[in-house]
Structure 1
């Protein structure tokens, strides 16, 4: 190995030994921060939707497709509806769920365990009735209010949907006792089949207009949609309800369906999540909600949803930023996972740099000490030789032999060129001590030779 290469390797070794502990500390802190912050979201998440062919199920599929582009698998969990979804969240069986406002009684602990990603859309109460049944009970094919349902066979939705509780409150507000109706709690599909077969007189849904069942019944001959003429009054009595209007012809302009404006009452559906859900997932869902729910619909104008207003639970800060603030600059030009990693780690990295910079100042002095110590440690041996020489009783040949051995060892020392001055200074000092030893040895011999000549 050439001397130049050996010097280079030694310099690198000294640098690694000097800066290595600091580098290891820095890496350990970064790994610790990464473990604590967990900037990378899990690859899968569970979303509770609703019955098959419901609006919840359709929206769930849209979220599933949207998050697939970012490498996130959305596992859809079918349920009976909103109330069932809320219970699934409480039990920790799903990460996110669609929950209808007013569909279930919120518990005090819900505000600590659940967060909202904002209101997504309105779900009107669709009360479809058969025209022949209306004529049979009221002598008219058109009903004017809930009070005219007395005696009819009415399906108020499955128990897990929360709709039976809502209808019970609406019927009670109209002074209708449950025993005055023949109520059933079938799920959407079997209830719709029974309704079309004439086994039911009326059927109630609480769903977004995207529901396939709603779309079909709106265009089915002989089926009418109840208009809540007092929808403003309902909204005053029940804060979770909003008065909405289904405009004339919005279903089918050519066929003029519906033939008149229909007043409805609607609750607002929100996307809820468990408190421990990864922040990056909350951001992804909130951002995609703007694309899925931001367009104009039958009951809202463009960009009216998603909204952070009228939330029954605290809004997650990730949703607040995603809905009310522009898209972060990094996410416009980078894949989401890279942008999210930088956004979540930059503050921690700044703190680490602030801590590491002062500590890094000890590296140059430590490196300098290690290099110079290879030279200075031989000064101890040189001092021993010099002290022995000053003692007066010394063997000149032995000291010169020690100096020769010391000089041989010093010649093997390798230091960077910037520290060569200390090495050459040591070699000069060895020569200086050699001269002194030689001089003192000669002085010690002169008296001995004079005494010998005098004796002769």
Structure 2
């Protein structure tokens, strides 16, 4: 019978299993489910804390301010929707009057807007120093020319039939510049002031109303800053009686205003068969910026940039395939996550894993690696502790069994009391709870109790035989 105070034997295992990862896994397996549950609990606690601190998963809802309906920004956002939905993000569109309102919504912490399209030249010094959430750029996503459409009959009536090519020639014309909250009006009147055109108050309730006023003759000209893909631009390009003004001083305007660039709409670009336009037209253009609040989750920044690459990376009238998005940040600072994207591309894990899983690993690896490094030693330390604890449930009863055995050797031993103690001990050991892997320890204890019982019965029988032997001579 083993000594009750003897230390528990070490877990058995193959040679060399006491070192390295194999030893930890062997010990963890032999320790039973309790050690495994303990390790999992520690890992779950660490992961929960890391989850709260690192926020590895962003919200699955994104609100973007688009500008007027049927405009270029509205068209862009609608093309974003199915691509983001495929990644589990629901994109909600917020129609606005234009870039001015978009910036205001981004800076309003309670607006619920996370991203917006902003026209170049719309950011003022006052915006840069305003209170509220700061706004950062994800880069330029499209070229936005200043489209100056005019009616042919207005040119015949107001300019003696001469097609205008300078802003100063539009003096006295009824010029619509879109809604007050849009970016077309502020940009046009900046150029008009530099070009000698007096300012006037003329604007529509929305971009669609401005187009209708031009087509119906209620306006002589319309200034519209928008991407070439915008439905309204495409509509006016093919409207009879409406022409596009080529700005002869385009290069001069671009030199004066740093957020502008001079470009050319080549002859026949709109319609080769109809030869529209009939000659190269010089234009000035700004760029559309995809802006976000600084507190937007970095994973959503990455996802927005990848979506922008699919939507804006196609060739167009003024760009080649892959030109957009590009990391230009003339007026708004470039977001750090966007800078990493332009420098290194999308995370390589997203080439092999779904977006959410790749983002989780990318955000959590800084915790997962130290956690793995900590769990390996714990897998060697914790199982022996658990083994000792489980065996102590059995071994502590050996102290009682040895006390009974020692009392049995006393000359004046009370066999009846010792038998009662032994039976009570046997009954108590029936309720010891141990995993199946430790039942051999329990059955060893039960076997040792049985051995002591046999010894006790032998002592009782021996004690009863001694008086009987002493009485036999007297009887004879």
- Shorter-chain TM band: 0.7 to 0.9
Structure-2 residue corresponding to 1:196: 215
Relative to structure 1, is the Cα distance of residues 94 and 409 closer, same or farther in structure 2, using a 3 angstrom cutoff?
same
Q: What is the alpha-carbon distance in structure 2 between the residues aligned to residue 186 and residue 434 of structure 1? A: 105
Relative to structure 1, is the Cα distance of residues 161 and 65 closer, same or farther in structure 2, using a 3 angstrom cutoff?
same
Of 214, 226, 229, which aligns to 2:233? 214
Q: What is the alpha-carbon distance in structure 2 between the residues aligned to residue 399 and residue 21 of structure 1? A: 43
Shift of 1:289: 0.8
Residues 1:380 and 2:399 are matched in the alignment: yes
Within a 5 Å distance, the mapping from 1:28-427 to structure 2 comes to: 28-91=45-108, 92-105=111-124, 106-109=127-130, 113-178=134-199, 181=200, 183-385=202-404, 394-395=412-413, 397=415, 401=419, 405=423, 408=426
Structure 2 contact 267–275 (Cα < 8 Å) conserved:
yes
Structure 2 contact 107–133 (Cα < 8 Å) conserved:
no
Q: What is the alpha-carbon distance in structure 1 between the residues aligned to residue 444 and residue 60 of structure 2? A: 63
Q: Deviations over 1:115-167 (max 9, x none)?
A: 22221001111111223323433334211211111111111221111222222
Deviates more, 1:40-49 or 1:103-112: 103-112
Shift of 1:436: 12
Relative to structure 1, is the Cα distance of residues 330 and 12 closer, same or farther in structure 2, using a 3 angstrom cutoff?
closer
Q: What is the alpha-carbon distance in structure 2 between the residues aligned to residue 246 and residue 191 of structure 1? A: 23
Q: What is the alpha-carbon distance in structure 1 between the residues aligned to residue 54 and residue 253 of structure 2? A: 46
Relative to structure 1, is the Cα distance of residues 95 and 416 closer, same or farther in structure 2, using a 3 angstrom cutoff?
closer
Structure 2 contact 151–241 (Cα < 8 Å) conserved:
yes
Deviates more, 1:324-333 or 1:41-50: 324-333
Q: Secondary structure at the match of 1:360?
A: helix
| Structure 1 unmatched runs, 5+ | 1-10, 451-456
Structure 1 length as normaliser, TM-score?
0.81
Deviates more, 1:114-123 or 1:365-374: 365-374
Q: Deviations over 1:358-398 (max 9, x none)?
A: 333332222221233134313322454466579x7742636
Q: What is the alpha-carbon distance in structure 1 between the residues aligned to residue 118 and residue 83 of structure 2? A: 20
Relative to structure 1, is the Cα distance of residues 431 and 57 closer, same or farther in structure 2, using a 3 angstrom cutoff?
closer
Q: What is the alpha-carbon distance in structure 1 between the residues aligned to residue 365 and residue 155 of structure 2? A: 66
Relative to structure 1, is the Cα distance of residues 186 and 148 closer, same or farther in structure 2, using a 3 angstrom cutoff?
farther
Q: What is the alpha-carbon distance in structure 2 between the residues aligned to residue 415 and residue 21 of structure 1? A: 15
Q: What is the alpha-carbon distance in structure 2 between the residues aligned to residue 249 and residue 411 of structure 1? A: 98
Q: Secondary structure at the match of 1:164?
A: helix
Q: What is the alpha-carbon distance in structure 1 between the residues aligned to residue 278 and residue 213 of structure 2? A: 26
Q: What is the alpha-carbon distance in structure 2 between the residues aligned to residue 33 and residue 430 of structure 1? A: 54
Q: What is the alpha-carbon distance in structure 2 between the residues aligned to residue 307 and residue 415 of structure 1? A: 63
Structure 2 length as normaliser, TM-score?
0.78
Q: What is the alpha-carbon distance in structure 2 between the residues aligned to residue 27 and residue 155 of structure 1? A: 62
Q: Secondary structure at the match of 2:187?
A: helix
Relative to structure 1, is the Cα distance of residues 234 and 432 closer, same or farther in structure 2, using a 3 angstrom cutoff?
same
Structure-2 residue corresponding to 1:7: none
Structure 1 contact 111–314 (Cα < 8 Å) conserved:
no
Shift of 1:424: 5.2
Deviates more, 1:332-341 or 1:144-153: 332-341
Q: What is the alpha-carbon distance in structure 2 between the residues aligned to residue 230 and residue 371 of structure 1? A: 89
Structure-1 residue corresponding to 2:16: none
Q: Secondary structure at the match of 1:161?
A: coil
